[in-house]
Each structure stands twice: as structure tokens, then as C-alpha cells.
Copies of this chain bind each other. A is one copy, B any other.
Amino acid sequence: MNIDLRVIGITGSSTMLLSDTGIDLTQWKQLLKKEAEPADIDSFVHHLSDNHVFPNKVLVDCTADTSVASHYYNWLKKGIHVITPNKKANSGPLDQYLKLRTLQRASYTHYFYEATVGAGLPIISTLRGLLETGDKILRIEGIFSGTLSYIFNNFEGTRAFSDVVAEAKEAGYTEPDPRDDLSGTDVARKVIILARESGLRLELSDIPVKSLVPETLAACSSADEFMQKLPSFDEDWARQRSDADAADEVLRYVGVVDTVNKRGQVELRRYKRDHPFAQLSGSDNIIAFTTSRYKEQPLIVRGPGAGAEVTAGGVFCDILRLASYLGAPS
């Protein structure tokens, strides 16, 4: 594509770097140290909207912050396009989400968020393509957490559940406190994003979430204490696993959007060994779309769904999509 793409501002939570014509990206890190000023989101946005050198402006929110996400509406209203992997706006209060979508539909200002689900995997764009061409979504079912994918792909009977969690933690697959993954909250956010994209008007609180954190361990004051006490539940986990195994099934932690019954769910389910979800490896995500058009056999996307590089790929894809929409030749 022939696009002239300039970064005219970079901000963290403490410092920001501004330029009227474009920051030299080969040395942005040094510049952010040397020439930065104290971060201020309002002046950052003014800097962007006051720039009249460039015709189109996009703000890319790479935080996971709720307060940053609360600004999208005003930014879009100012004519600033918004692109983000941040799940907070789309999984926040329904009325605010609907307000955002209504504004976007009424304007030529774009809001893209492909990387909120599955990072660089084509999930949102595939769903949109199906919906826009008149397909009817019946069910979206997926393993949306790389961490929980890894844990259940490796919990195969040779090691205790707590050992697999410890291994995932050591390999850096989990959050510093594995309870943040095991609670299922992040999966629920992805479910609500896909549910709303499919037309369901649900709040995050409408999604029943099966937490894998035992109730008695939710109160542990530290991740270390939690990890120390987790082995006391290994026996229960082993029983669940062998029960599944006896039925030629495996355990998987999945998110479900059921558009027929207008509900979403996050649960621990059992799948037959020949099911695509049973055959996963590594920390892959897998998402199956069952629709009027893909009814007998679903449309499935699978691959790594987390990590800086693939997330950046998803965000960059959105930036180029924006450029195309704004008329850049492809």
C-alpha cells in the first residue's frame, strides 16, 4: 500500500513524546527518555486533533486500562479514529458500548479492535464478514486463553494439575498471579465482545463464569501462598480428568456465545478425543463459528492468540484496514 504513516505522539503513563511531523521510529526509545515531557492524556489528544498537517488521525490504545478506554467516545466524536487491543470498552457497561457503536455507525470515524480477541488471529474480521454478508451466527465456541489452553493440553494424566500450573507459571505463560488466568474473567471479556458483535445485548455480569480458583484459595494473600495450597486440590482434578478419560474425552476451558438462546458462558467442558478442541497443542487459541452457512462443519481459526508480536500484527492490520477505508490504493 502507498500510505504515508507517521507517528506524531507516543505516551506512557509517566512521560510522552510529541512531534508535529513524525517521530523517528529508529530511536523512539532514546527520544522518549531524552525529550519527553510529563504524560498528560488531554494535551496528548489536543496535540493530535490540533495537527492540520495530516488529513487522518488515529489513536492506538495499547493499554489494558479502563480509564483510557472511557475516552474513545470523545475521541471518535473529534474525528479521531481509534484502534485498540484493549478489551475494556467493548466488555464494559452495555449502554456505553451501544453509545460508541451508534456514534461510529453515524460517522465516518472508525473504531477497530481485531486484536481484542485472539490477538493477530482473524476472529473479529471473520465474524463481521459472516454477519455483514447475511450469515446467521448460531454458536461461537472457543478456547480463548492461551494459558488455560496450555494447562489443559498438558494435563494429560502424567502430572498433577498443580504441577502443570506451576510449569505454566515458570514458563511465563500465566499472569504473575495465576489466579488472574484461572478465574476466567479474561475469557468472559472475550465472550462478551463476540456476543455483542453478534448482536446480543448482554452485560459482563450476564455471563456465568466457572472459576478454576477453589473458593477457599480465592482469599490467599499472595500468589506464592496460592501455589503452595493448590496441590490439595490435585486429587479432585485427577478424578475429573480420569472420569473424562474413561468416556474417551478431555477437559477444556471454553467460552461460548449461544446466539440461539441469547446467552454466553465460560465453562469447563468435556470434548470427545476426535473433536478439534481436544487436538490442540501448545498454548493455541481455537475458535469455531457455527452459522447457517457453516452448520454441518464449523469455520475454525486456530493459532497463538497472545504475545506482543502477534498482537502488534493484529493492531497493524487494523491500521492498514483503516488506511484502505480512507481511500489508500491497495
CB contact list, A64-111 vs B, under 8 A: 104-105, 107-108, 110
Q: What is the CB-to-nearest-CB distance from A231 to chain B, in angstroms, rounded to a whole number? A: 29
A303-B297, A329-B107 known; A133+B313 contact, CB < 8 A: yes
A324 CB contacts on chain B under 8 angstroms = 324-325
In the complex, the answer to whether A303 meets B310 with C-beta atoms within 8 Å is: no
Return the contact of A330 from the options B110, B135, B276 (Cβ within 8 A). Answer: B110
Query: Smallest CB–CB gap between A87 and chain B, Å?
Result: 20
With A122-B126, A134-B316, A303-B297 in contact, is A105–B276 under 8 Å at CB?
no
Across the interface, A310 reaches (CB within 8 A) one of B122, B282, B293, B313, namely B293
Q: Which of A103-129 contact B (CB under 8 A)?
A: 104-105, 107-108, 110, 120-122, 125-126, 129
Question: Chain B residues near A141 (CB, 8 Å)?
Answer: none
A222 at the interface (CB under 8 A from B): no
Interface size on A, residues (CB 8 A): 46
Across-interface contacts of A132 in B (CB, < 8 A): 1, 317, 320
List residues of A (255-304) whose CB comes within 8 Å of B's CBs. Answer: 274, 276, 279, 281-284, 293-294, 296-304
How many Å from the CB of A127 to the closest CB on chain B?
A: 10
In the complex, which residues of chain B have a beta carbon less than 8 angstroms from the beta carbon of A172? Answer: none
Chain B residues, CB < 8 A from A55: none
Q: Does A23 contact B (CB under 8 A)?
A: no
Instruction: State whether the Cβ of A170 lies closer than 8 Å to any Cβ in chain B.
Output: no
Contact A300 B302 (CB under 8 A): yes
- Chain B CB within 8 A of A309 CB: yes
Interface residue? A130 (CB, 8 A) = yes
Q: Which of A221-280 contact B (CB under 8 A)?
A: 274, 276, 279
A284 to B294, CA, bound (A): 11
Give the Cβ gap from A125 to chain B, nearest Cβ, in Å.
7
Whether B294 pairs with A303 at a CB distance below 8 angstroms is: yes
Residue A327 is within 8 A (CB to CB) of chain B in the complex: yes
A304 touches which of B110, B294, B317, B320 (Cβ 8 Å): B294
Q: Mark A22-55, 1 if CB is under 8 A from B, else 0.
A: 0000000000000000000000000000000000
| Contact partner, A301, options B104, B300, B316, Cβ 8 Å | B300
Contact B125 A122 (CB under 8 A): yes
**A302 interface neighbour in B134, B274, B302, B317, Cβ under 8 Å:** B302
Q: Are B320 and A293 in contact (CB under 8 A)?
A: no
Q: B325 near A327 (CB under 8 angstroms)?
A: yes
Q: Which of A284, A294, A330 has the most CB of B within 10 A?
A: A330
Task: Please measure, in the bound complex, the distance between the C-alpha atom of A110 and the C-alpha atom of B327, giving whole angstroms.
Answer: 11
Is B126 a contact of A313 with CB atoms below 8 Å?
Answer: no
Question: Closest chain B residue to A132 by CB distance?
Answer: B320
State how many angstroms separate the Cβ of A58 from the closest Cβ of chain B.
15
Q: Which 6 A-B pairs have the closest CB atoms?
A: A299-B303, A133-B316, A300-B302, A129-B317, A279-B279, A282-B297
